[in-house]
C-alpha cells in the first residue's frame, strides 16, 4: 500500500515563483489536510478538506491555496513564494469511519524559498 | 479548541519507563486525546488514543484521570529507537467540529541514552 504520497520531496524556489505540492492517497479517505513544520516547532495546520469539493482554512492559510476535485488528491498551491514559506510540508489523511481518527502522514516535502 | 501543554524535552535511559504528561484544561466533552510520534525527517505516526481511564496497546499506555484535564503517555522499557518527538492532540473524533482542525503543539523531545 502506498498510503499518502507527496511530491516533490525537495524543491528550491525563488521569491515570487509559484508551485504546487502534490498529495495523493490511495486509502479512500475523505479527510485530507496540509501542515507545515518549521525547525524546532510543531506542525501547524494550513488547510484541510472533508471531501471532494469541500475545503477550509486551518491556522496558517495565508499564501496558500487548495482545491479538492477528487477524493484521492489534495494539492497545495503557493501562488507567489516568500522566504517565510521555507518549511517542511506534510500532507495527512484520515478515514471518516475509522475508530480512532488516526491521521496518516506522507513523508514530507522540503521547500526552500530564496 | 483545547490547547495542550507538554514539557519541551525529557531524557531517559534504555530500559526505563518514560511518562510524558500533557495538560489540556479546556478539553470538551466530545474530545478525544491522541498521541503521535515523530522521527526526524518523517511525518508523525499515530501511537494511541483514549477518551477516559486507561488504554493500552502493544507500544504504549495512556492514562486519563476522571477530570480529563491531563493525560499521561507511558512508554515501557524505552530503547534508543524511541528517541523522537511526541505530540499530544485533543479534538473530536470524527469529521465534525474540532475534529477537523487537529492542531499539534510543539511536542516533547524524548532523548533516550545508553
**Residue B97 pLDDT:** 39
**Residue B98 pLDDT:** 43
Handedness of CA B1, B74, A40, A64 (dihedral sign): negative
Of the partner residues A59, A90, A96, the one whose CB lies closest to the CB of residue B43: A90
In degrees, to the nearest 5, what angle opens at C-alpha B99 toward C-alphas B98 and B102?
85
CA distance A18 to chain B (A): 24
Question: Which residues in chain B are contacts of A101 at CB distance < 8 A?
Answer: 32, 34, 49, 91, 93-94, 99
Q: How far apart are CA A83 and CA A13, in angstroms?
A: 9
CB-CB contact of A7 with A109 (8 Å): yes
**Each residue of B39-90: pLDDT tens digit?**
988 999 999 999 989 999 999 999 999 999 999 999 999 999 999 999 998 8
**Each residue of A29-53: pLDDT tens digit?**
999 999 999 987 889 999 999 899 9
Share above pLDDT 90 across residues of chain B, in percent, rounded to a whole number: 67
Instruction: Pick the range with the lowest mean pLDDT from A80-89, B31-40, B78-87.
Output: B31-40
The overall average pLDDT reported for chain B is 89
**Residue A33 pLDDT:** 94
A74 touches chain B (CB under 8 A): no
Q: How confident is the model at residue A99 (pLDDT cuts 50, 70, 90)?
A: low
Reply yes or no on whether the pLDDT at A100 is more than 80.
no
B44 touches chain A (CB under 8 A): yes
Reply yes or no on whether the pLDDT at B29 is more than 70.
yes
A43 touches chain B (CB under 8 A): yes
B30 touches chain A (CB under 8 A): no
Amino acid at each position: 500500500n502506498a498510503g499518502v504520497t507527496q511530491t516533490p520531496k525537495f524543491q528550491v524556489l525563488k521569491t515570487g515563483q509559484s508551485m504546487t505540492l502534490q498529495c495523493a492517497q490511495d486509502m479512500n479517505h475523505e479527510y485530507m489536510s496540509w501542515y507545515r513544520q518549521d525547525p524546532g516547532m510543531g506542525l501547524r495546520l494550513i488547510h484541510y478538506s472533508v471531501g471532494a469539493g469541500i475545503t477550509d482554512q486551518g491556522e496558517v492559510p495565508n499564501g496558500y491555496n487548495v482545491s479538492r476535485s477528487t477524493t484521492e488528491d489534495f494539492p497545495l498551491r503557493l501562488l507567489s513564494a516568500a522566504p517565510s514559506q521555507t518549511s517542511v510540508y506534510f500532507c495527512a489523511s484520515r478515514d471518516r469511519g475509522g475508530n480512532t481518527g488516526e491521521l496518516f502522514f506522507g513523508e514530507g516535502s522540503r521547500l526552500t524559498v530564496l | 479548541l483545547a490547547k495542550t501543554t507538554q514539557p519541551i524535552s525529557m531524557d531517559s535511559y534504555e530500559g526505563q519507563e518514560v511518562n510524558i504528561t500533557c495538560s489540556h484544561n479546556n478539553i470538551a466533552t466530545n474530545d478525544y486525546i491522541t498521541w503521535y510520534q515523530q522521527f526526524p525527517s518523517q511525518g508523525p505516526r499515530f501511537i494511541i488514543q483514549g477518551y477516559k481511564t486507561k488504554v493500552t496497546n502493544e507500544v504504549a499506555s495512556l492514562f486519563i484521570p476522571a477530570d480529563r484535564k491531563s493525560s499521561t503517555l507511558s512508554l515501557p522499557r524505552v530503547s534508543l529507537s524511541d528517541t523522537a518527538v511526541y505530540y499530544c492532540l485533543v479534538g473530536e473524533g470524527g469529521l465534525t467540529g474540532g475534529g477537523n482542525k487537529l492542531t499539534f503543539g510543539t511536542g516533547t523531545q524524548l532523548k533516550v541514552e545508553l
